[in-house]
Amino acid sequence: MTGYFNNITESAMDGNKANVPPIVRLFSEEDEKKFNELNKEIGTVKNKMKAYDLNSQKYKDWLVKMQN
């Protein structure tokens, strides 16, 4: 595997510096607020998706209707 990674044509993002310190990206307050809102919205949608029972007769009837 090392042969593959040692033969790429792109240059390293750190310029091949030795002992590069860790990098941590932090959200601004506005971005963090938006991030949290989106995560909440994703959770809501996931819960709604769980409410759909793909084995229910209602779903099977709808599926037949959509295929016609």
pLDDT score, position 39: 95
CB 43 within 8 A of CB 36: no
- Give me the amino acid identity at 5: F
- Give me the amino acid identity at 10: E
% residues pLDDT > 90 (the chain): 26
pLDDT higher than 70, residue 55: yes
Torsion, CA 12, CA 17, CA 23, CA 27, rounded to 10? -60
Q: What digits encode the pLDDT tens for the residues 30-51?
A: 999 999 999 999 999 888 877 7
pLDDT band at 1 (very low <50, low <70, confident <90, very high): low
Q: What is the pTM of this model?
A: 0.45
pLDDT higher than 90, residue 8: no
Show me where the domains of the chain are located.
27-68
